[in-house]
Structure 1
Amino acid sequence: MTALTIDGSTRQYGIVGDPITQVKTPELMNAFFQQNGINTVCVPLQVAAATFDSSLRGIMALGNVAGLVITVPHKVRACALADTLSAQAQRVGAVNVLRRDAQGAWLGDMFDGAGLVAGLQAEVFTLRGQHVKQLGGSGAAVIFALLAAGVAALTLCDPNGDAAQAQVDRINAHYPNGPARVSTAPADLDGIDLLINCSPVGMQPGEGLPAPFTVFSPALQAVDIIMHPPETPLIARSRQACCRATNGRPMIEGQLAAFLTFFGLNAKESPCRH
């Protein structure tokens, strides 16, 4: 394996979020760069909401920053910083990657949903025909990708009921049979085959389940997209009930190939200098 060397020619990518200590994208991307001798590095950048616009505009003005990965809570706000949005980003109303093109313009795209679907399929989760409950309305990309993968219906639960309903209305406009709906009963799992937590509940020490669940059927599949801690209260409860369960790592791994393609990175890039 080629040693990682940073010099004046190193191209930089950043992952922007708040908090940022839980992210695994730098670990995966930097391993790829090192294995393939690519003179590029991905670094975590903690940016608070109060300084998001000014911070991102400053970072994007740096000549050797070629792209950014955007994570919570900035995915919606980052749309305004893109000169062009992909069709998927426009549908979802959020981005999780920004790329500078040869003319200096920035393109935004969204791979959260596609990454999760690819990761779950690699982990042999059943998607087609399933009835899904999603906690947290910020995961619109996940909803679109799940419906495209053939789930039968999706129920969205979010404390902001009006925003959740607007989200569902936008999604159903693309699907004539209206497979998405809003529920105010997040703990009700009757008829649910797949439970996905897209909320941040479970990330902080001492936080419990994202909803007051009681009994889990062993047939239930459970996903918590939180990366840290690796076993959230939801994942722990699911595994105790012998459910198929995973944290967000398959989602990140499922996105890696899409990120590298979007950024135009491959093993034929210029090797690291020593």
Structure 2
Amino acid sequence: MSEPLSGATRVHFIVGDPIAQVKSPAGVSQAFHDKGHNAYVMPAHVAPAQLAAWLAGVSLAQNVDGVIVTVPHKFACHDLCASTSDRAAFLHIVNTMRRNPDGSWHGDMFDGLGFVSAMQDNGCQPAGKKALLVGAGGAGSAIAHALVVAGVSSLAIHDPDAARRSTLVDRLAGLGKCPVTHGSADPTGFDIVLNASPVGMQASDPIPVDADKLQAAMFVGCVITAPAITPLIAAARAKGCQTMTGAHMFGRVRDLMVDFLLEK
């Protein structure tokens, strides 16, 4: 790191449960330093039941400028913000929070924007394409919204939590931008196949879609950063598909978060 840790250092947290797996502390700290800002990101392992009390406590420190939010706190932190972007308000989720002038918190959600930007970096323009998305949690909700805004011709969402999936499908369908439906693990007929679920993080996990039905013309992406190449991505590459990994997404999301946290 180029900036020495000192009493003048500005502090940011990344909060989750668990937290040991996240890569943001080093990556975002380095991005701050690359912009000439003396700030570090510290990991905080906080259980859901203690989240509100933890945030109230760290808010008392006048050198704490921001909070990055990861699983499972993205929905709960939305409710702890005094203000949010329109995007975060629509989704009821945030992944980044910065201080308002009065010391309260302003939240936004960048997982979707970062994911779609990473898709475009890797040769996939979503406009006019039929997309299948696995996962309707925090990241999945943001990615689904970003895909609809980016102009996909249709979006099918698959998630084993039927209530969560239905809520997201109904909310996005209400925008009237494209058909949004309930999907399955069958990728047949789709141009874009995306995993926004944690399925693939463990060696024993199944592939979240029927990999035998992947076709070379499909674009396949995944949010998971570890392992770097998930079984889904490996299977897609074996079929000749264009792909993007969680690392591609993280780079784009990191840049958006840093710009937001440094915005005055």
Q: Same fold (TM over 0.5)?
A: yes
- Deviations 1:5-63 (CA, angstroms, capped at 9, x unpaired): 11111101111122323323223222223334321111222222343222232223322
Match of 1:51 in 2: 50
SS of corresponding position for 1:203: coil
Q: Is the 8 A contact 2:188 2:213 kept in 1?
A: no
SS of corresponding position for 1:260: helix
Q: Is the 8 A contact 2:13 2:42 kept in 1?
A: yes
Match of 1:152 in 2: 153
- Deviations 1:190-223 (CA, angstroms, capped at 9, x unpaired): 2111111111111123223124432321111111
1:228 to 226, 229, 249: 226
SS of corresponding position for 1:44: strand
How many pairs does the alignment contain?
Answer: 262
Indicate the larger mover: 156-165 or 88-97.
Answer: 156-165
Q: Are the structure 2 counterparts of residues 242 and 22 from structure 1 closer, same or farther at C-alpha, using a change threshold of 3 Å?
A: farther
Q: Is the 8 A contact 2:187 2:209 kept in 1?
A: no
Match of 2:204 in 1: 206
TM-fit CA distance, 1:174:
1.2
TM-fit CA distance, 1:265:
5.4
1 or 2 for the larger relative contact order (CA 8 Å, sep ≥6)?
1
Q: Mark the runs of 5 or more structure 2 residues left unpaired by the alignment.
A: none
Q: Is the 8 A contact 2:59 2:103 kept in 1?
A: no
SS of corresponding position for 2:74: coil
Task: Kindly report the root-mean-square deviation, in angstroms, between the aligned alpha carbons of the 2 structures.
Answer: 1.8
Superposed, which structure 2 residues align to 1:85-124 within 5 Å?
Answer: 85-124=84-123
Match of 2:66 in 1: 67
Normalising by the residue count of structure 2, what TM-score does the alignment of the two structures yield?
0.92
SS of corresponding position for 1:76: helix
Match of 2:167 in 1: 166
Match of 2:143 in 1: 142
1:259 to 250, 257, 260: 257
| CA distance in structure 2 between the partners assigned to 1:265 and 1:101 by the alignment | 11
Q: Are the structure 2 counterparts of residues 265 and 28 from structure 1 closer, same or farther at C-alpha, using a change threshold of 3 Å?
A: farther
Paired residue type of 1:47:
V
| CA distance in structure 1 between the partners assigned to 2:8 and 2:175 by the alignment | 45
- Deviations 1:113-164 (CA, angstroms, capped at 9, x unpaired): 1111112112222311111111111111111111111111100011111221
Match of 1:216 in 2: 214
SS of corresponding position for 1:26: helix
SS of corresponding position for 1:202: coil
| CA distance in structure 1 between the partners assigned to 2:89 and 2:118 by the alignment | 23
Off by >4 Å, runs of 4+ in structure 1: none
Q: Mark the runs of 5 or more structure 1 residues left unpaired by the alignment.
A: 267-274
| CA distance in structure 1 between the partners assigned to 2:170 and 2:101 by the alignment | 37
Whether 2:69 is the aligned partner of 1:84: answer no
Paired residue type of 1:170:
R
TM-fit CA distance, 1:94:
0.5
Match of 1:272 in 2: none
Q: What fraction of aligned residue pairs are identical, expressed as a percent? A: 34
Normalising by the residue count of structure 1, what TM-score does the alignment of the two structures yield?
0.89
Match of 2:239 in 1: 241
